[in-house]
Amino acid sequence: MPVYLDHAATTPILPEALAAFTAALGTVGNPSSIHSAGQRAKMLLEDGRAAVAASLDADPVEVVFTSGGTESINLAVKGMFWARQQDRRRPRIVVPGGEHHATVDTVAWLEQHEGAVVDVVPLDAQGRVDLTALEARLADASDVALVTFLWANNEVGTIAPVSRIVELAHAAGVPVHSDAVAAYGQVPVSFAASGLDALSVSAHKIGGPVGIGALVLGRRATVEPLIHGGGQQRQVRSGTQDAPAAAAFGVAASMPHADVRALRDRLVAGVRAAVPTAVLMGDPVDRTPRQAHFTFPG
Ligand SMILES: Cc1ncc(COP(=O)(O)O)c(C=O)c1O
């Protein structure tokens, strides 16, 4: 029997989410239509939004559905960057090393095409952000458009000091986005408690379908939209909304997630026993339950 272990890349869809998805696919109606078919689709959509919001300790109005983590990150980073150029030129984007490609390639694109200056904050050997360096980068933040960082590193599992990063950025008057794709479903993620301006998540990492994610966007946060059209979702992300995917995402977001720490620790102990020179990467304490990342010298 094949065993699927690569849950960091994508998770199997949960049976409950699959059932909600397939049932909802049979529903006809555009959630923006005012007739009864449209309103039925709207109920599915909004129930999904409410469940996703609850799982992130956010308000449903703050949840903007997207096609996944990559789009959410693009919308947050490009959208905030552009919104912050309107009254004054602010080219700098402050970002730790070791980010996911969705962030790395987005800021590189802004550098090549929009005159952004990417200011990389170093990480230590465990993947922890150097907070002293971050503070120094923000000492004069008059030219900083935004700070963006990974809530949890998707490869080594190190969890960022979220509140401290937000505190430093806000003290400097700079908005903050976090890529919480690898943290979501593994460690508690509270948008309200974090103080973040924006946060990205993806359904397929928590047992939901591929092709839907969310950008949680605080009420005071402003982003320039990437997609223009019918003005859906606070004008931030136009396009007919995907009610079946939202319904399935909501179900996956409501499900309890298995605590796999004991399994991970057993795997780590087994690898260490078999290969004593193996080096476990990432923070030894502040780490996600699902990641066990080794390097094997030689
Ligand atoms: C940390 C992190 N950010 C962003 C993404 C991209 O998300 P999506 O696959 O939903 O576009 C991933 C997916 O691997 C990820 O692990």
Q: What is the DSSP string of 119-136?
A: EEEPB-TTS-B-HHHHHH
Pairwise CA distance, residues 287 & 13, whole Å = 24
Tally: H helices and E strands in the chain: 9, 9
The DSSP code sequence of 175-200 is -EEEE-TTTTTTS---HHHH--SEEE
The DSSP bridge partners found for residue 121 are 96
- Most informative mutation of 13, 70, 288 for ligand 1 (most atoms within 8 A of CB): 70
What is the 276 CA–ligand 1 centroid distance (Å)? 32
The pLDDT assigned to 257 comes to 83
Mutational test site, ligand 1, from 184, 202, 288, max ligand atoms within 8 Å of CB: 202
What mean pLDDT value characterizes the chain?
Answer: 96
Alpha carbon 18 to its chain centroid, in Å, reads: 22
What is residue 126's predicted lDDT score, i.e. its pLDDT?
94
| Residue 96 token pair | 């730790």
Q: Would you say 121 and 139 are in contact if contact means Cβ atoms under 8 Å apart?
A: no
Confidence band of 255 (pLDDT split at 50, 70, 90): very high
Measure 105 CA to ligand 1 centroid, in angstroms: 13
Q: Environment class of residue 202 by beta-carbon count within 10 Å: exposed (0-12), middle (13-18) or buried (19+)?
A: buried
CB–CB of 280/297 below 8 Å? no
Q: Give percent of the chain above pLDDT 90.
A: 94
From ligand 1's centre to the CA of 251, what distance in Å? 20
For the stretch 184-208, pLDDT in tens is: 999 999 999 999 999 999 999 999 9
Q: Tell which residue, 224, 237, 227, 164, has the closest CA to residue 196.
A: 164
Regarding the beta carbon of 157 and ligand 1, being less than 6 Å apart is answered no
Q: Is the CB of 68 under 6 A from ligand 1?
A: yes
Taking the centre of ligand 1 as the mean of its atom positions, its distance from the CA of residue 202, in whole angstroms, is: 7
Q: Where are the domains of the chain?
A: 40-254, 261-295
pLDDT in tens, 142-199: 999 999 999 999 999 999 999 999 999 999 999 999 999 999 999 999 999 999 999 9
Two tokens at 32? Answer: 């923006």
Tens digit of each residue's pLDDT (9 = 90 or more) over 79-89: 999 999 999 99
Domain 40-254 class, CATH top level: alpha beta
